[in-house]
Structure 1
Amino acid sequence: MKKLERLGIRTDMELVLHLPSRYEDETKLTDISDAIFRRTGPVQVEGVITMSEVQYRPRRQLVVFISDETGTLVLRFLHFYPSQIKQLSSGKRIRVRGELRQGYNGAEMVHPAYRMVEESTPLPDALTPVYPSCEGISQNYLRKEIAICLKKLDLADTLPETLLAELRLPGFSEAVRFLHNPPADTDESALLDRTHPAWIRMKFDELLAQQLLMRRAQLARCRQKAHPFHLSGKLVEEFVHHLSFRLTKAQQKVVSEIRRDLGRNYPMQRLLQGDVGSGKTVVAAIAALQVIGNGYQVAMMAPTEILAEQHYHRLSEWMTTLGLSVVWMSGSMKKKERETVLSAIESGQAQFIVGTHALIQDTVRFAGLGLVIIDEQHRFGVGQRLVLRNKGDTQSEIPHQLMMSATPIPRTLAMTFYADLDVSVIGELPPGRKPVITRLINQERRDEVIGRVHAAAMQGRQIYWVCPLIEESESLQLQTAVDTHAMLMETLEGLSVGLVHGRMKSEEKQQIMKEFLEGKIQVLVATTVIEVGVDVPNASLMVIEHAERFGLSQLHQLRGRVGRGDAESVCLLLYQRPLGKTAKQRLVTMRETNDGFMIAQRDLEIRGPGEFLGARQSGQAVLRFADLEKDGDLIEKAAALAGSLLKGEMADADRIVSAHLQRWLDNREEFLNV
């Protein structure tokens, strides 16, 4: 079993649930002559070795000739052991499987799978499973070990027969044995695309285990203690009254949900998602005021200094009019300034603390942390979020937590990997926000784009020009930010062109962004450091260089930096031919819609869940069998059953939950505190 730990297999049941990725049909033999004639796909033949020799031209290799009654075939081994020379000697019978190609001596197979047989050796009566593996673990070893486990383990069903009948699912033992040894006449396409009833059972069980675990995490959180914050004084009322805009209905609804959560004596764990520019920050500010009004502190953590500083300036503008203290904490602060801020945080003088990862350092000690706000939460790991939240763990009370994301999460993803969270959605943009017009433009029309940039600048507008790389990459041959900046400085004579990228010192970046915000810089060449949080209302044109290299969600985030003022805004996606299928899908989607939720769904379909999960999955059971795009109906059924079981609405619910989690996750619940 030690050897299997490299595949993440620690128990006999995990070995049984190590299901095949594909199958080989070794139940049929083809005559050598027919195989040579058809020469399409893998084929299995059997014959007697007529000659075997080690040849040295053009390189050392073992060449074996086999024959049956219909023809002769060459087997070629470029890598072999001395024992194979003896094993593959003349007169022995061999059964081989592989793809044929034309060689120097006629039809041949290179490094085929083979086994030595007798003339009477029967063919298998089931398809041969091929398992995910790694170096040092052979298929034969896996097949043997799995067969042993299938015989010795109790594979009794965790779900009652009545429920299986209602869900139209086969029994667990029947399904798992079938997948390891499917009969020869099984529909192979149903096995490969995982639509066979046996696969449906495995996917449902996996989803049910995941739902049970996530919902138990949510129930465990409800047993923890947090300080209940009821509305106190007139801080919130005064803040809303002084805003220069009215909250949308969606914002008001979310504010009510968060207000209710903060008033409870167990910690809020809410994910606030909303499209770019939907007004999440003002909602977070209102939540913060509810906590600060009760004498506690609030910490907001953002993934980049640019975003964190933007939050700091905006929140300072709002909070100082209410007589509140907002401080800023980053890794690039000078020692004396840092010590002053640390002292203000520890003494409680600082009420709202905004910063980057610097907030989770040991030297940061809070007087009374009541609420943690994490912006762009998918960019932080589980451990990082946990460290910040634990800084408020005093007298067995832990802070409430609000996580924000401008990357809308598709419904199936929210139902699975975020099932332990309460989710709020700001589904509308503030009045007056106009959709950004998006155009796809071939790189060959670059001069026209530069002309358009110049015209926009002459009209008093500001422009972003986004590049994917900082330095030259010979392998990708992409235009770089540094080169583009130099080119635009020369081409756009008379205009102020700035440059900002991730390798610049923090002070430099901040100074450039400040000048762009103040209108001193007309064209800003940047890498994706400006992806989130940068708010310059006068910027109405964005050019994204080599847009085919970006992910959909990233393109949408970047596009969200324009369209924040009154002027009609445009995003030009420069692409280079030839375009691959996936890149074309992304760019067409960007041209067709500004709807972040639709874009998120398309991104899930194209790229899978990784783009949305980020580091959230550290320590969690990742779905191996279910497909978030194709198995939406199974997700809903599993979610409904998990809810029913945990509420005790079914007979013997506790036993079912315990048995199911034991089988699928070995009761490992190390991420309950995520």
Structure 2
Amino acid sequence: MSDQFHFPFAVSANTLSKLAKLNIRNIWDLALHLPLRYEDETHITPIADAQIGIPVQIEATVIQQQIQFRPRRQLVVQVKDVSGHVLHLRFIHFYPTQQKQLAEGNVIRALGEIRHGFFGDEMVHPKIRTDIEKGLSESLTPVYPTVNGLNQPTLRRLIETALKNLPADDTLPETLLSQLQLPPLLESLHFLHSPPPQYTPRDLHEGTLPAWQRLKFDELLAQQLSMRLARQQRLNGHASALIGDGHIIQSLLANLGFELTLAQQRAFNEIKQDMAQSHPMHRLLQGDVGSGKTIVCALAAAVALEAGFQVAVMAPTEILAEQHYLKFQQWFAPLGIQIAWLSGSMRKKAKDETKALLANGTAQLAIGTHALFQEDVQFNQLGLVIVDEQHRFGVAQRLALKNKGEDVHQLMMSATPIPRTLAMSFFADLDVSVIDELPPGRTPIVTRLVNSSRRQEVEKLVRHTCAQGRQVYWVCPLIEESEVLQLQTAVDTVAQLQESLPELKIGLIHGRMKPAEKAAVMSSFVQGEIQVLVATTVIEVGVDVPNASLMVIEHAERMGLAQLHQLRGRVGRGAAASRCVLLFSEPLGDIAKARLKVIYENTDGFEIARQDLHIRGPGEFLGARQSGVPMLRFANLEEDLPLLEKARDLAPILIAQQPEVVKKHLERWLSQRAAYLGV
């Protein structure tokens, strides 16, 4: 992000540094820095009429001031208004200036919530004004998000100055605004920064007022325009057309031992057609847990290999990358294809040897973690990049890997299904392939909610499952005891299970183990030597052990829906009936109850994702798409779907017919963020 500031008025260096922390670098940033809430200083409420728990402003005379020392040092001030009613003002933290301000006989205004106190009705730490000769405010007072050292009066002054200096022209033509029934932008901004007193703070926060609708629409339109332009730019770019002769694909399919589902075949054909184009592919392959995305990616890799190009497969964790490495070795090594493994934990000598194989082209297929996109890793002829769990990588990381080749083809895969509204908005620049059916033979998973007080029953179920020759996952959310969360730890769980089930072989795997240790434990579990694998959430994605038929998740109430669904998907991969037991501890909060209800009632990942979006909002689905800067500050994808659809329909028309409007609109809304939009 640029460090340049552009203000048409003087701002001190100290204030500039504070504004930078708020991502404010020009007058538009200031104008779009909207209030968190509003205070009503437009009228006086008699103490006698003030309601408990509702913010009010009173005007009264100080009749007594004293410092009390019990239960702690505090300033207590008695005030009386013209109606003769008395109110206490209490300050637990105070300064000599406040004592002077609240001297006996002074007439003051106090703004705050009245509550019942020990000595009678009181306000705790109200906002005090002594300049009552200025009269009442004519609009609601905005309270802005800020940082230390930048107070509200300063921020208000800066924003007022910015609003006076904004260019009068609108980015959108009047005819279009009239058609959309939206007010002008400047009018909307003035309204939201200083709303008339007839509006309540609640009215202003609901987001349905025309001024809010205008800002939300502008933001969504900027996003849709930028995505479409990024897509257009990609389609105008040049990439090598990857067309193979089919010999690797045929051998791969012949050795699989199973038939592809129709959905897998359809997804692969879409990918193959994209890769045959002379512009770079930018496709997202999404499908539910266990739908068989990995083999489709392997077939895409086979096309690139047949065409004589290298392929890089990147995963967010070592354990997932290792799973891909083992799978791809199993599929490609018998075909004479050399596969390279690269991760951050490798010794320097091994790393250097791998980098040399990639640079001279000996290694045709590279699999690894973030280590793949370090500056010193060079490819001989990279043609295809496959990124698993793409939402867990930052934009800058994906960009670094993409730049290893000349406009390479990109295939991203995600087992976190993306709801339609989210796909329409945040992935409008991607082509999407969906695998919407599970391979035959997958058994439905029965989900049970069990209170942790019934833990012994769950241990009996573990014993019964292992007695039938099956295996069990037992997932714990933490490695070490946390005094704050007091969650059951993986280490303690192993000890408890060994005591309760001494006849069983129990293993432990967690993220802080060395890669070699993790690989050894996973190998023992895959071979059936370990019957119960106690794990942290490192096994969330990618682990495939068909003999495992029971998943126990401790403190399920603490986990997100996507994570619970991913973990549940580790079982049900063989022919045996599978179960997932969600252990929960009471008391449960409303969100935890909602999550557990959703996961208990649904097995369809897309429905779970839709409800997850409704419960927690879009943030976590998207990863660091804007490198820490959220794309949407004002619009809400669930609530504002009609606006999103209007913006989506309008974007291509503006690009085709009014490019000058597009340029102006994007400069105003995305001036600092445009670099990331095409990733």
Q: Same fold (TM over 0.5)?
A: yes
Deviation by residue 1:369-410 (Cα, 9 ceiling, x = unmatched): 111111111222222222222222xxxx23211111111112
Q: Tell me whether 1:529 sits opposite 2:538 in the alignment.
A: yes
Q: Hey, what does 2:596 align to over in structure 1?
A: 587
- Which aligned pairs between 1:171-250 and structure 2 lie closer than 5 A? 171-186=184-199, 188-250=201-263
SS at match of 1:670: helix
**1:454 is aligned with what amino acid?**
R
SS at match of 2:335: coil
Distance in 2 of aligned mates of 1:559 and 1:104: 53
- CA change 1:672–1:205 in 2 (3 A) is closer
- Which aligned pairs between 1:274-673 and structure 2 lie closer than 5 A? 274-392=287-405, 397-618=406-627, 620-646=629-655, 648=656, 650=657, 653-666=658-671, 668-673=673-678
**1:547 is aligned with what amino acid?**
A
Distance in 2 of aligned mates of 1:474 and 1:76: 34
**1:419 is aligned with what amino acid?**
A
Distance in 2 of aligned mates of 1:350 and 1:578: 54
Q: Tell me whether 1:68 sits opposite 2:68 in the alignment.
A: no
Query: Which residue, out of 130, 135, 146, partners 1:116?
Result: 130
**1:27 is aligned with what amino acid?**
T
Query: Which residue, out of 28, 43, 49, partners 2:62?
Result: 49
CA contact (8 A) 1:45 1:95 kept: yes
Q: Hey, what does 2:101 align to over in structure 1?
A: 87
SS at match of 1:616: coil
Q: Which runs of 4+ in 1 moved over 6 A?
A: none
SS at match of 2:284: strand
Distance in 1 of aligned mates of 2:25 and 2:322: 46
Distance in 2 of aligned mates of 1:421 and 1:459: 46
Number of residues paired by the alignment?
663
- CA change 1:69–1:501 in 2 (3 A) is same
Distance in 2 of aligned mates of 1:140 and 1:86: 21
Distance in 1 of aligned mates of 2:293 and 2:540: 16
CA contact (8 A) 1:210 1:621 kept: no
RMSD: 2.1
Distance in 2 of aligned mates of 1:335 and 1:197: 60
Query: Which residue, out of 28, 34, 40, partners 1:25?
Result: 40
Distance in 2 of aligned mates of 1:472 and 1:463: 23
Q: What is the CA-CA distance between 1:334 and the residue it aligns to?
A: 4.5
CA contact (8 A) 1:619 1:671 kept: no
Distance in 1 of aligned mates of 2:508 and 2:585: 23
**1:588 is aligned with what amino acid?**
K
Distance in 2 of aligned mates of 1:233 and 1:570: 40
Deviation by residue 1:50-88 (Cα, 9 ceiling, x = unmatched): 344556666554443332222222323343343334333
**1:139 is aligned with what amino acid?**
Q
Q: What is the CA-CA distance between 1:357 and the residue it aligns to?
A: 2.2
CA contact (8 A) 1:271 1:402 kept: yes
Distance in 2 of aligned mates of 1:169 and 1:338: 58
Query: Which residue, out of 145, 148, 158, partners 2:171?
Result: 158
SS at match of 2:383: strand
Distance in 2 of aligned mates of 1:321 and 1:643: 48
- CA change 1:75–1:569 in 2 (3 A) is same
Distance in 2 of aligned mates of 1:362 and 1:145: 42
CA contact (8 A) 2:429 2:678 kept: no
**2:44 is aligned with what amino acid?**
L
CA contact (8 A) 1:155 1:172 kept: no
Q: What is the CA-CA distance between 1:361 and the residue it aligns to?
A: 3.2
Distance in 2 of aligned mates of 1:557 and 1:121: 61
- Specify every segment of 5 or more residues in structure 1 that has no aligned partner in the other structure, as ranges: none
Q: Hey, what does 2:26 align to over in structure 1?
A: 11
CA contact (8 A) 2:53 2:115 kept: no
Of 423-432 and 234-243, the range deviating more from structure 2:
234-243
**1:664 is aligned with what amino acid?**
W
- CA change 1:373–1:105 in 2 (3 A) is same
Distance in 2 of aligned mates of 1:559 and 1:451: 20
Q: % of aligned pairs identical?
A: 58
SS at match of 1:44: strand
- CA change 1:474–1:51 in 2 (3 A) is closer
Q: What is the CA-CA distance between 1:604 and the residue it aligns to?
A: 1.4
Distance in 2 of aligned mates of 1:659 and 1:92: 53
Distance in 1 of aligned mates of 2:484 and 2:48: 46
Distance in 1 of aligned mates of 2:334 and 2:100: 89
- CA change 1:500–1:248 in 2 (3 A) is same
- CA change 1:479–1:19 in 2 (3 A) is same
**2:499 is aligned with what amino acid?**
E
Of 594-603 and 353-362, the range deviating more from structure 2:
353-362
- Specify every segment of 5 or more residues in structure 2 that has no aligned partner in the other structure, as ranges: 1-10
Distance in 1 of aligned mates of 2:90 and 2:545: 66
**1:177 is aligned with what amino acid?**
H
Distance in 2 of aligned mates of 1:333 and 1:178: 58
SS at match of 2:412: strand
User: TM-score, structure 1 length as denominator?
Assistant: 0.94
Q: Hey, what does 2:269 align to over in structure 1?
A: 256
Q: Tell me whether 1:138 sits opposite 2:151 in the alignment.
A: yes
Of 73-82 and 263-272, the range deviating more from structure 2:
73-82
Q: Tell me whether 1:77 sits opposite 2:86 in the alignment.
A: no
Distance in 2 of aligned mates of 1:584 and 1:170: 41
**1:79 is aligned with what amino acid?**
H
CA contact (8 A) 1:440 1:573 kept: yes
Q: What is the CA-CA distance between 1:615 and the residue it aligns to?
A: 2.4
Distance in 2 of aligned mates of 1:116 and 1:605: 46
Deviation by residue 1:415-470 (Cα, 9 ceiling, x = unmatched): 22222222221111112222211000111111111111111111111111111111
Q: What is the CA-CA distance between 1:593 and the residue it aligns to?
A: 0.8
**1:92 is aligned with what amino acid?**
N
Of 605-614 and 194-203, the range deviating more from structure 2:
605-614
**1:299 is aligned with what amino acid?**
A
Of 286-295 and 130-139, the range deviating more from structure 2:
130-139
CA contact (8 A) 1:63 1:74 kept: yes
Deviation by residue 1:500-550 (Cα, 9 ceiling, x = unmatched): 111112111111111111111111111111111110001111111111111
**1:150 is aligned with what amino acid?**
L
Distance in 2 of aligned mates of 1:374 and 1:264: 20
Of 93-102 and 465-474, the range deviating more from structure 2:
93-102
Q: What is the CA-CA distance between 1:657 and the residue it aligns to?
A: 0.9
- CA change 1:188–1:108 in 2 (3 A) is closer
Deviation by residue 1:597-630 (Cα, 9 ceiling, x = unmatched): 1111111122222321222330655211111221
Deviation by residue 1:323-361 (Cα, 9 ceiling, x = unmatched): 322232233335554444333222212111111222223
CA contact (8 A) 2:487 2:555 kept: yes
SS at match of 1:403: strand
CA contact (8 A) 2:272 2:300 kept: yes
CA contact (8 A) 1:553 1:599 kept: yes
